[in-house]
Amino acid sequence: MATMTYVNAIRDAQRQEMLRDPKVFVAGEDVALMGSSFGQTGGLYEEFGGERVLDTPISEGQIVSLGVGASAMGLRAVLSLDFCDFLGCCMDEVMNQAAKMTYMLGGQMCLPLTIRSNIGGEIGAAAQHSQCLEALFTHLPGLKVVSSSNPRDAKGLLSQAIRDNNPVIVLEHKALNPMTGDVPEGAFTVPFGKIELKKEGKDVSILSWANTLNKCVRAAADLEKDGIDAEVIDVRSLIPLDIDGILASVEKTGRVVIAHEAVETGGYGGEIAAMIADKGFDFLDAPIKRVGAPYTPVPFSGALEKHYQPNEERIIRAVKSLFY
Amino acid sequence: MKLTKDAYLSLYETMLRIRFFEETARELMLGGKLGGFLHLYSGEEAIAAGVCSELTKEDCICSTHRGHGHIIAKGGDIHKMMAELYGKATGYSQGKSGSMHIADIGMGIIGANGIVGASIPITNGVAFALRYLKKDAVAVAFFGDGASNRGTFHEALNLASVWNLPTIFICENNHFGMSTPQGRAMKLKRISDRASAYGIAGVTVDGNDPVAVKEATHEAVKRAKSGKGQSLIECVTWRHHGHYIGDPAAYKDPAEQKLWLSEERDPIPRFEARLLKEKVANAEELDGLKNKVRDVISASVAFAESSPDPSPESMYDFVYMPDEA
Ligand SMILES: Cc1ncc(C[n+]2csc(CCOP(=O)(O)OP(=O)(O)O)c2C)c(N)n1
């Protein structure tokens, strides 16, 4: 076990997978000479050279297409798209090319490509550099979508994505970059489609991912003082989703709060809520509550953003509203 | 370029395979047997035939919505293609792709594409992989004059150039993007002039002459394989039919349409006349080839019609590929 920052865990995942498999390459804007905006690819170029770690022009469509063409030919592409907001510049490549190719080609080949991208706010980056757009990708059959809340999962989920034979969108939360935690050394993966139980409890299931998950853990500690024993679940693998693991928790607690930083309307929390209502209605003692961002772009000012971001207080309020 | 008799006849036969496939597909669709969109390649056969005659099996192509010609010329299986148009279980993609997404990875056909301009940068990914895997091979992007106005064209030519990838860009200028004439979509007359913006070679050739296309491709392959750079080859041509079957092409000037369909312009009769004049082959030999190709196409229709539909459960296959054991 090593203690590592979230950023270093991301870097270590890429390094370990590159050591394991010579077909893995890393490409994106400023990944080589600079080591990426937050250092997530630092040192890889020096270690693996220019044919495996490639700075690209500012050409997002070409970056994803590079991965599509190269992975169709058997390479494993790890593409850096920096801010998930920039995926608007390559949505065709993600939505119509990467997501659909194995299907349209009748399974003639695999498409092992990983797109790493930052989500989230709290660094004053305003509306075009702060979004949580996971729901755009969960709506596209053919993509897998994961998001980590801590250094260990940042490494494990990214490593798993690189080994996966399908396009995977790996969403990393930029507010977590300085977070430190225990991370297994060497090659290490976290399987997809498995929730992680962060805290066991019997009164309510709080489901979340990425940065908001950590707020849920803190909220649960506060709720304890008020006599509410919350179970906290890190969903982390949005597609494939561990719906059975979620339902098992709901069966135990009978109450559900789903919290995420993305805009609540049309957010992936709505999909999870619908699945629970569909498959676990009889377990429920109260309506399913969602906590998400309001229906506005992410504001710049800290004075505004602190009201925008879902926080512990809102999560606690949502939980308490279920006990009457 | 001095060609052997076999090389001449191979170009001719490839063009026939494409033309007969397309005209058969057209009849089938007009007769209500095929659904979906069909963008026919009739009139443009010399380009696919000329380009692919210079490619080996290891070389790869990426194609477009008007892709049948490229796939046939690169050695695609006519039976599987026809079955795919019928949406049958025996088709290239077991009925999941139809006309616009046919591929044969083993033959270096990395796929047709329903999104205009999308395959141009994908070709760079293929070219990158070929270089990464140390193959002595090139990747060829086919696309239309209309596609050359998309940002993907710019991103792709720029990357290929700055990374010195073994990519070759074939622009099939049939003068129209759907109904819009070239002159309403760009001010340039020669699309190959765009090459200079990327520091790569640009040339415009007669796209209805398979030998001219072959020669230009020969140079481009040599350049790419020796690491001397990329090429944008503009092939000037004309599509015989509407944009897709059902488009009456009212936007075409009837006189111009007539001229391009004449025996002097249509690539197939034109090449036939040349073969006869240069005594490469006699009329019986050419007729023999025609009959042979007609039989292949008819057999593909019979194959497709006698093939089973895909099972409903197969709809769920290949959304995701399994992980290795
Ligand atoms: C991104 C995108 N925009 C528009 C279309 C609709 N469309 C299909 S083919 C076509 C014209 C393409 O023209 P060109 O690239 O010159 O190829 P051609 O059809 O002439 O072979 C258009 C506009 C599309 N399929 N994809």
pLDDT for B94-132, tens place per residue? 999 999 999 999 999 999 999 999 999 999 999 999 999
Where would I find the beta strands (DSSP E) of chain B? 60-62, 139-144, 167-173, 176-177, 180-181, 201-206, 231-236
Count of other CB atoms within 10 angstroms of residue B319: 16
Ligand 1 center from residue B65 Cα (angstroms): 8
Q: Which atom of ligand 1 is closest in space to residue B177's alpha carbon? A: 13
Q: With 70 as the cut, is the pLDDT of residue B236 above it? A: yes
Cα–Cα distance measured from residue B149 to residue A195, given in angstroms and rounded to the nearest whole number: 46
Nearest chain A residue to B141 by CA distance is A69
Q: Which domain holds residue B47?
A: 5-307
What residues have CB less than 8 Å from B135, skipping those under 6 apart? B58
Question: In chain A, what are the domains?
Answer: 2-183 (3.40.50.970), 196-320 (3.40.50.920)
- What tens digit of pLDDT does each residue of B199-208 get? 999 999 999 9
Model pLDDT, residue B149 = 98
Say whether residue B51 is in contact with chain A using an 8 A CB cutoff.
no
Residue B132: which CATH number?
3.40.50.970
Pocket of ligand 1 (CB under 6 A): B 39, 65-66, 114-116, 143-147, 172, 174, 176-178, 243
Say whether residue A61 is in contact with chain B using an 8 A CB cutoff.
yes
CB contact under 8 A, A109 and B105: yes
Q: With 70 as the cut, is the pLDDT of residue B324 above it? A: no
Cα–Cα distance measured from residue A111 to residue A90, given in angstroms and rounded to the nearest whole number: 17
Answer yes or no: A260 catalytic.
Answer: no
Structurally, chain B folds into a number of domains equal to 1
- A93 to chain B: which residues are within 8 Å by CB? 118, 121
Model pLDDT, residue A122 = 86
B285 lies in some domain: yes
The β-bridge partners of A7 are: none
Cα–Cα distance measured from residue B233 to residue B207, given in angstroms and rounded to the nearest whole number: 10
What is the β-pairing status of strands A256-263 and A204-208? Answer: parallel
Residue with CA nearest ligand 1 atom 20: B177
In the predicted model, residues of chain A with pLDDT beneath 70 are none
Q: Which atom of ligand 1 is closest in space to residue B145's alpha carbon? A: 16
Q: Does ipTM exceed 0.90? A: yes
B247 lies in some domain: yes
Nearest chain B residue to A57 by CA distance is B159
CB contact under 8 A, B118 and A65: yes
Tokens of B181: 């004439």
Average pLDDT, chain A: 97
Report residue B325's pLDDT band, with 50, 70 and 90 as the boundaries: very low
Mind telling me how many Å the CA of B225 is from chain A's nearest CA?
A: 17
Ligand 1 center from residue B178 Cα (angstroms): 6
Count of other CB atoms within 10 angstroms of residue B35: 12
What residues have CB less than 8 Å from B66, skipping those under 6 apart? B39, B40, B41, B44, B144, B172, B239
Sheet order of strands, A196-199 included: A196-199, A230-234, A204-208, A256-263, A289-293
Nearest to A51 among B97, B106, B132 (CB): B132
B313 lies in some domain: no
Model pLDDT, residue B175 = 98
DSSP state of B109: B
Ligand 1 center from residue B63 Cα (angstroms): 12
Tokens of B253: 């000037």
Say whether residue B101 is in contact with chain A using an 8 A CB cutoff.
yes
B25 lies in some domain: yes
Closest CA to A172 of A3, A7, A5: A7
Q: Which atom of ligand 1 is closest in space to residue B150's alpha carbon? A: 1
B324 lies in some domain: no
Say whether residue B304 is in contact with chain A using an 8 A CB cutoff.
no
- What tens digit of pLDDT does each residue of B12-66 get? 999 999 999 999 999 999 999 999 999 999 999 999 999 999 999 999 999 999 9
Model pLDDT, residue B26 = 98
Identify residue A93 by its one-letter amino acid code: E
Cα–Cα distance measured from residue B27 to residue B33, given in angstroms and rounded to the nearest whole number: 9
Q: How many CB pairs under 8 A join A and B?
A: 145
Cα–Cα distance measured from residue A63 to residue A268, given in angstroms and rounded to the nearest whole number: 26
Ligand 1 center from residue B147 Cα (angstroms): 7
B318 lies in some domain: no
B176 lies in some domain: yes
Tell me the pTM: 0.97
Q: Where are the alpha helices (DSSP H) in B98-144?
A: 119-132
B321 lies in some domain: no
Q: With 70 as the cut, is the pLDDT of residue B234 above it? A: yes
